[in-house]
Amino acid sequence: MTKIDIFSGFLGAGKTTLIKKLIDDGFSGEKLVLIENEFGEVGIDGGFLKDAGIEITEMNSGCICCTLVGDFNKSLREVMNRFSPDRILIEPSGVGKLSDVMASVIGMEKEADVKLNALVTVVNAKKAAKQMKAFGEFFNNQIEHATCVILSRTQEATGEQVEFCTNLIKELNPKATVITTPWDALSGAKILDNIEGKDNLEMKTLAEMHHAHDKQEHDKEHHHHDDEEHGHEHHHHDDEENGHEHHHHDHDEHGHGHHHHDDEHGHGHHHHDHEEHGHGHHHDQEHHHHHADDIFDTWGKETPHIFTKDTIEKALKAFADSEDFGYVIRSKGMVPAEDGSWIYFDLVEGDYELRTGEADVTGKLVVIGIDLKAEKLEELFGLK
């Protein structure tokens, strides 16, 4: 099976620079073919890729997105037969419609062992608003059909410009991942994970919840713990499995001793409240019949917004000490901070930790629980 990735974007957005980065530090060990089409222009960017030992098919006689759709399919078959690549990268003209290129590849799926894979659109963060207005349908089409939109020049743009640009993109395509962190701060492998949809924090955290739920069912079947004992043991295991066995120790070191107090009162209070508010039914009984995502609400945001440590800590403390925002079982995230570092946080049933981590492609926040209040969560994290 050959994966076909399409890298769309207006001329000058940085498509070729991105592809070079991914080839240098992303597609390790894969046999690649790059198909370029620069709307009749000479493929001047082909040289450095040839130096890397990668075969390139350049199609400089017209736009594959419109006038040469038939010839494009013929060329694609020729590439498949000649090179049998693991992956084909298509860099179409900067003035074409992404949906047209996609249609050509989808047509190929019926007759060849190929799979339309990543749909990437590169957008210049400083020019997005103007280009959207000037080129309308062509610009919007590239956004609407992307699975991942990568902003370029974000290191030169203001925070307000990046947020405004991200919001415009999200309005057109709420499902796309938007990479907002400057490329120099990211590895090609990290970008590739997001391009291929492997690094969705909400999906990852839900998968962890599924795992915890399956463990809970297993323990109930084999050890016959009562609900209260099982609840505490389950969370203890969850901490260990996710590398959080040091939480209580960390809280002491970082001055979060109040969480030990929460464990005696607040943590027990959560379990007690759980039953008083009728959550025990959801949390304990319905686990037998449903998957985790049928029971729990999830609230997730991807945003380039700059956060302070105080904002994050205030939110986590609110989740630990109250049910003002719903009954929060898990919260996780990695977000950019004012000093250029990244804040990573993780909360499990009232216990939380904060640490500094590597840059991610954009800020990510996830909250999982019961009866979550989405608008209040946005306000709490300073997003409204």
Q: Supply the pLDDT for residue 237.
A: 41
Q: Supply the pLDDT for residue 94.
A: 62
Q: Supply the pLDDT for residue 311.
A: 97
Q: Supply the pLDDT for residue 41.
A: 36
Q: Supply the pLDDT for residue 150.
A: 97
Cα 128 from Cα 123, distance rounded (Å): 6
User: Long-range contacts of range 27-31, CB-CB < 8 Å, 24 or more positions apart?
Assistant: 27/87, 27/188, 27/192, 28/189, 30/85, 30/86, 30/87, 31/83, 31/84, 31/85, 31/86, 31/87
H helical segments located in 157-257: 159-172, 188-195, 201-223, 227-241, 247-253
Cα Rg for the chain, rounded, in angstroms?
Answer: 24
Tokens of 327: 């009954």
Q: Supply the pLDDT for residue 377.
A: 97
pLDDT in tens, the chain (384 residues): 999 999 998 877 898 889 889 988 888 788 888 877 644 333 444 555 655 666 666 554 443 332 333 467 777 787 788 788 898 888 876 656 788 788 888 888 888 899 999 999 999 999 888 888 877 888 888 999 899 999 999 999 999 999 999 999 999 999 899 999 999 999 999 999 999 987 778 777 877 777 777 777 777 776 554 544 444 444 444 443 343 433 333 433 333 333 333 333 333 333 333 333 334 333 443 333 334 445 678 899 999 999 999 999 999 999 999 999 999 988 999 999 999 999 999 998 888 999 999 999 999 999 998 899 999 999 999 998
Cα 317 from Cα 66, distance rounded (Å): 55
Task: Enumerate residues 6+ apart whose C-beta is below 8 A from 207.
Answer: none
Q: Supply the pLDDT for residue 234.
A: 41
